[in-house]
Amino acid sequence: MIPYGKQDISAEDIAAVNAVLTSDYLTQGPKVAEFEQALCDYSGARYCLVVASGTAALHLAVAALELPAGSEGITTPNTFAATANSMAYCSIQPVFADIDPLSHNLCPAAVASAITPATALLTPVHFAGQTADMPALHRLAQQHGLKVIEDAAHAIGSCYADGSPVGNCRYSDATIFSFHPVKTLTCGEGGAVMTNDPILYQRMLLLRSHGITKDPSQLSQQPGPWYHEMQTLGWHYRMTDMQAALGLSQLQRLTLFKARRRALVARYNEALADLLWLSTPIEAPDLSSCFHLYVVQIDFVALGKHRAQVMEELLAAEIGSQVHYLPVYQHPWYSQQYGYKDGLCPVAEHYYQHCLSLPLYFSLSDEQQDKVISAIRGLTECAN
């Protein structure tokens, strides 16, 4: 079976985790701090917190901004639900702006039209690893006094148009990563929040571990070395040392991961370019994306098959595929909770009706990719 996404675990990764398993610390030990420093060194951000998941990273970042309840936050409908959920967790209403038809990222003009006096937050997503137009979105945020969180769950290893790495937070208050197994770099589960803001960092640090601190400089009293106190209502969002050790080891191969993913994307693009019923992803010439997903757009009417038929035929050939994503506001909870209706973001809805993610991961061999390409090209042979 060729899945649409898959982790790559090396002997070095296994040795790194085994070293933790035979050490004194399985969690709350030194590897977490080492991984955080390595992510700062890689990205150029001043501060990093590694956490239990990308969702936890989003939640912490929004909560630490301490925005007024009832505020609005603008994001893309073309994302996993967690992006918008992080706002809902904090009593901020998610507002969805439409996407650019080429990059499938937030359209700055659509964002500008969605801003109201209640807007306090902007959360762009770097979809499939391609960066959103952060200079334009950053300018909008500055003009309207908005906080910005970059959802870079897909984009560790990607660079902005200026060549600097995603995660440096030059355009945002915070940037989050995800380390789920289908992502470029994995910790099994896990995530990270990057920031250059010391106050935001300290708030997130407190919220990550139940709102509890033992830092003598933060305590209201100091009766002894055993003492700790809960200063706010937080969560248990810590990462284990086992996960951090795996992440540290994986981070050493990020350049290799990126090079292979980009090579696979180039092979796909060349092999599928002549199919009139299929469009390959378009990367802006000044970007250097570490592609998390390879998403094609298929004219199913021209092909003569429904998407479910295509996915079933690929599955019969032992090839996995996936759909990224149903517009978030079309999920039942969002339509019921906020009254969102179809037609809210027509570009995103058109994209959703035609998208299909094909296998893309570091260990996908040329032979396996050729099998996928052959299966895609062969879809026309049995078309209705």
Q: What is the DSSP string of 352-382?
A: HHHEEEEP--TT--HHHHHHHHHHHHGGGGG
Strands, E assignment, 91-228: 93-96, 119-123, 147-151, 174-178, 191-195, 212-213
CA distance 76 to 122: 9
Q: pLDDT for 190-211, tens place per residue?
A: 999 999 999 999 999 999 999 9
pLDDT at residue 383, as a whole number? 47
CA distance 61 to 39: 17
Residue-range domain boundaries for the chain: 11-251, 254-382
pLDDT at residue 384, as a whole number? 43
CA distance 305 to 378: 12
Terminal C-alpha separation, the chain: 26
75 forms bridges with which residues in the sheet?
Answer: 96, 123
Kind of pairing between the strands at 355-358 and 72-75 = unpaired
CA distance 133 to 160: 9
Kind of pairing between the strands at 191-195 and 47-51 = antiparallel
| 81 burial level (CB within 10 Å; 0-12, 13-18, 19+) | middle
**pTM above threshold 0.85:** yes
Q: Profile the chain (384 residues) by mean pLDDT over runs of 10 residues.
A: 98 98 96 98 98 98 97 98 98 98 98 98 98 98 98 98 97 98 97 98 98 93 93 97 98 98 98 98 94 98 97 98 98 97 98 98 98 97 53
| 199 burial level (CB within 10 Å; 0-12, 13-18, 19+) | exposed
Do the beta carbons of residue 241 and residue 25 sit within 8 Å? yes
**Which architecture does CATH list for 11-251?**
3-Layer(aba) Sandwich (3.40)
Strands, E assignment, the chain: 47-51, 72-75, 93-96, 119-123, 147-151, 174-178, 191-195, 212-213, 229-230, 278-279, 294-298, 355-358
CATH topology (fold) of 254-382: Aspartate Aminotransferase, domain 1 (3.90.1150)
Do the beta carbons of residue 125 and residue 114 sit within 8 Å? no
Using DSSP's 3-state secondary structure scheme, residue 306 falls into: coil
CA distance 254 to 23: 26
pLDDT at residue 382, as a whole number? 53
Q: pLDDT for 351-364, tens place per residue?
A: 999 999 999 999 99
Neighbours of 322 (CB within 10 A): 17
The answer to whether 11-251 and 254-382 have equal CATH topology is: no
